[in-house]
Amino acid sequence: MSFCATEKNKVKELYELAVNRLNNDHEKCFYGRNDTLLLISAQYPGVWLEHVYDSIIYAKLFPEKLNIAKNTLNLFISLQEKGQLPCYVWDKARVSVPEESIGYSEIQECVSFAELCLEYYYLSYDLMFLRKCYSSAAKWILWLESNRMTLKKGLIEMFVGYDTGHDNSGRLSGMSEPGYYRVDNVLQNASICPPNDSVAPIIAVDMNCNYYASLISIAKMAKILNRLNEEEIYLKKAKDVKHRLFAECYDSNDKFFYDVDKNGNQRKYLSSQILHLFMEKVLDKTEDKNFIDAIYEKHIRNPKEFWTEYPFPSMAINDPSIKNRTPVNCWGYYSQALIALRCTLWMDYYEKNRDFDVVCEKWIKATVNNSDRIHFGQEIDPISGETTMWSDFYSSCMLFFIYASRRLKLV
């Protein structure tokens, strides 16, 4: 895809707009706090655990912003309760219910927190902070293993829909609580599974990819910290998680990994959860080459599923559940800026460089074409490229636009 002179000028204009917007409007301190953070957008009143990667890639794009990445990691570590990381931290000045400004009601990790701690170390070589991260990540793993393995399968379970961050996705069908779990209008802790749910707890593919990546990252931290016995323990656990994930969730006929409900039934939704196998590098480039090739060609590179005109949709476009999609904030159809940004974690690694260039081109084109309607929206239609009117100046979209513009040498 080529860009005409007018489009190239628009890319440069939007690039400067994104940089200035992040600097001037998204770098903020919460009410009552002193550390500068990177906020998501006006639509979202704080920072979610799934957006910690925004701060890491911000530091990669702008090395002078390294302190913001550390502040964000430290924010979640400082608010751990008995090992549990908060799922979000909101600015009390922007919410109507201040007592819910720190959330413990779901997981919503989406990218391994331990992996992001390690990424920060590789940027800073801050050994003292790595020790803090190692302790935090180990406690988080212990909390997950103690509270989210009720089926005794050795795999992490989804209790509520927001655990995955896949709002309004078809993969949440049949769950009694596809969002939060409240009792008498009070949010319940993420350790509590809604009673009498017909399908939950559910072994979730993406959550276990995160679990695997966390174990690998903690093992790498242990090696750096010269805790070699602990390194071996975490590597062994990671190997076991991968084996269990294949045994429970992989369908060899479909060449796909599916969630599994509490009754042992695979939930056959062609969800973007499949990308987490790549994102968290569960699939080894050598040992699992056949799996990589089969999944990539049959599903990810398939124009009838995920390789749409504007990749990657949050649900394959041939999945029947997309007919029930919501008009905005839908992980059951739209191509999400978060998915695009997370492509930086895996596409080059698995030597899909040219395909990643195409993803970058398409997202830039969609952002430019829709800039008279909304600036840097959260999601786009995977077929038409039209942006929904949900969450303008969305941090993940701006960061991806900056990254993609640089990658394609348009700025």
For residue range 233-247, what is the model confidence (pLDDT) as tens digits? 999 999 999 999 999
Tell how strand 88-90 and strand 102-103 pair up: antiparallel
Could you state, in order of their start, the residue ranges of all structural domains in the chain?
5-407
What is the rounded distance in angstroms from the CA atom of residue 403 to the CA atom of residue 19?
Answer: 11
What is the rounded distance in angstroms from the CA atom of residue 112 to the CA atom of residue 223?
Answer: 18
Q: pLDDT tens for residues 318-366?
A: 999 999 999 999 999 999 999 999 999 999 999 999 999 999 999 999 9
Q: pLDDT tens for residues 125-167?
A: 999 999 999 999 999 999 999 999 999 999 999 999 999 999 9
Range from 85-94, 95-104, 252-261 carrying the lowest mean pLDDT: 95-104
**Adjacent-strand bridge partners of 380:** 335, 387
- Amino acid found at 238: A
What is the rounded distance in angstroms from the CA atom of residue 131 to the CA atom of residue 136?
Answer: 9
State both tokens at 123: 């940027």
Residue with token string 């919503």: 108
pTM higher than 0.85: yes
- Amino acid found at 112: S
Residue with token string 């492509």: 343
User: In the predicted model, what is the mean pLDDT of the chain?
Assistant: 97
Phi, psi of 155, deg, nearest 5: -130, 155
Whether the ω angle into residue 356 lies within 30 degrees of 0, i.e. cis, is no
- 121-124, Cβ contacts within 8 angstroms, sequence gap of 24 or more: 121/221, 121/224, 123/56, 123/59, 123/60, 123/63, 123/66, 123/69, 124/66, 124/70
* Contact predicate 283/115, CB 8 Å: no
Q: What is the CATH T-level fold of the domain 5-407, as seen in this structure? A: Glycosyltransferase (1.50.10)
What is the share, in percent, of the chain residues with pLDDT greater than 70?
100
